[in-house]
Amino acid sequence: MKKEQTASISLIKIICISLILLFLSGIGVMAVNTNLIDVKITLRNGYEMTILTSKTKVKDILEDNNIILKEDEKVTPNLDEEIVEGTSIKITDKSYNEVQIAKISEEGVQTSLDDLLKNYAPITEKIVVEQVNIPFETITKNTTNTDQETTNKVIQEGKDGIKEITYKIKYQNEVELERTVLEEKVIQEPVNKIVQVNKVVKTTSRSSTTARTSTATAQTNNNSNSSGSQIYKVTAYCPCSKCCGKYASGYTAAGTKATAGRTVAASSKFAFGTKLNINGKVYTVEDRGGAIKGNRIDIFVSSHAEALKWGVKYLPVSVAN
């Protein structure tokens, strides 16, 4: 009886050992089939952890280990990337630009990454030195000559001066954003043009009354010549905002299209359409101006460079027949 019990116990032991071996073999087969890999994860604070996982996508690996990315964090490789044995996953801070781009994208702005990055491109500064012309002025001297009449005789030719300007210019994506003047220095002073206008005053040996009349005539004609013209201060302007302000449109106060070689701005003493002979060339009054008063006329030119080159001239002006 004891022999039978001993044999039964031995059989039970053999069966149990066999079951254990089969279970362990199954676990081994399952491990082989799941292809477990070692992955090292480095957190934002520098803490490192090594895990054994069957997942291959970065996003799944982080979720299995209860790791959640914050808004200002990024992971390398990307969340949707597949990894292999020995790959390291690193969590770091996002740059300021990346955070701003992410916010804009969340708001639904339809734009490309390149366009977004352009808005956050670095701003560079350069020191630039430029030389510009200083337009000379024309000065008219009226004199009285008893011998002969000489009109617009040039005593001294004019010459532009040179000014050196130092700017600090800010650029972004090679586009100028801001220009600040640091220094202005005159390299060469302009030389004014001097024009002498002689007026004939006929003297007489008659009575003092006649002499006074001649003198009065000379004073009356001080600003006019024998053809009925007067000496005006003549400047030039163009359709840019520097000349016409922020409302520059290219159209005159008379409603016409401003045209170089034709249009002039004059005071209200001249009605629109009046033809003016300015130093031998005929122009049409089509415009007004806040600074155009009295003996002042503004000639329309095509560009600001031409307006600067014209400068200030004192020329004879008369109403054309």
Beta carbons of 260 and 300 less than 8 angstroms apart? yes
Q: State the pLDDT at residue 228.
A: 66
Q: Is the pLDDT of residue 67 over 50?
A: yes
pLDDT value at residue 226: 38
- What's the mean pLDDT in 37-51? 88
Mean pLDDT of the chain, nearest integer = 77
Report the pLDDT value the prediction gives residue 30, as an integer from 0 to 100. 53
Lowest mean pLDDT of 53-57, 85-89, 165-169, 198-202, name the range. 198-202
Q: Is the pLDDT of residue 185 over 80?
A: yes
pLDDT at 211: 33
Look at residue 96 and tell me whether its pLDDT is greater than 80.
Answer: no
For residue 215, give Cα distances in angstroms to 1, 121, 165, 224: 169, 75, 51, 15
Looking at residue 273, what is its pLDDT?
A: 93
pLDDT of residue 98: 62
The residues pairing with 263 across neighbouring beta strands, listed in sequence order, are 284
- How much is the pLDDT for 213? 32
Asked if residues 248 and 289 have their Cβ atoms less than 8 Å apart, the reply is no
Relative to beta strand 296-300, strand 275-278 is unpaired
Per-residue confidence (pLDDT) for residue 291, from 0 to 100: 82
Tokens, residue 67: 């790791």
CA distances for 211 relative to 205, 217, 225, 226, angstroms? 8, 10, 20, 20
Please say whether the structural domain 123-223 has been given the CATH code 2.20.230.10. Answer: yes
CATH for 35-120 is 3.10.20.30
Q: Does the structure show a pLDDT above 50 at 209?
A: no
Choose from 39-53, 135-149, 240-254 the range with maximum mean pLDDT. Answer: 39-53
pLDDT of residue 52: 86
Q: Are 71 and 99 in contact (CB under 8 A)?
A: yes
Question: For 294-315, what is each residue's pLDDT tens digit?
Answer: 889 999 999 989 999 999 999 9
Give CA separation, 273 vs 74, 188, 284, 298, in Å. Answer: 72, 42, 6, 15
Looking at residue 47, its amino acid is Y
Peptide bond into 122 cis (omega under 30): no
Tokens of 237: 């302007």
Quick one: fold of 225-321? Barwin-like endoglucanases (2.40.40)
Provide the b/e sequence for 238-277 (b: ≥16 CB within 10 Å): bbeeebbeeeeeeebeeeeebeeeebbbbeeebebeeebb
Of 104 and 223, the one with more pLDDT: 104
Q: In 3-state terms, what secondary structure has residue 93?
A: strand
C-beta of residue 215 within 8 angstroms of C-beta of residue 206: no
pLDDT-based confidence at residue 106 (cuts at 50, 70, 90) = low
Per-domain residue ranges for the chain?
1-33, 35-120, 123-223, 225-321
pTM metric for this prediction = 0.33
190 touches 199 (CB < 8 A): no
Condensed to tens digits (0 to 9), the pLDDT of residues 151-170 reads: 677 878 888 999 999 999 98
Lowest mean pLDDT among 122-136, 175-189, 245-259: 245-259
**In the predicted model, what is the mean pLDDT of residues 214-221?**
33
Model pLDDT, residue 107 = 56
- 130, 221, 294 from 233: Cα distances, Å: 30, 17, 9
Residues in contact with 131: Cβ distance below 8 Å, sequence separation at least 6, in sequence order: 162, 163, 164, 165, 187
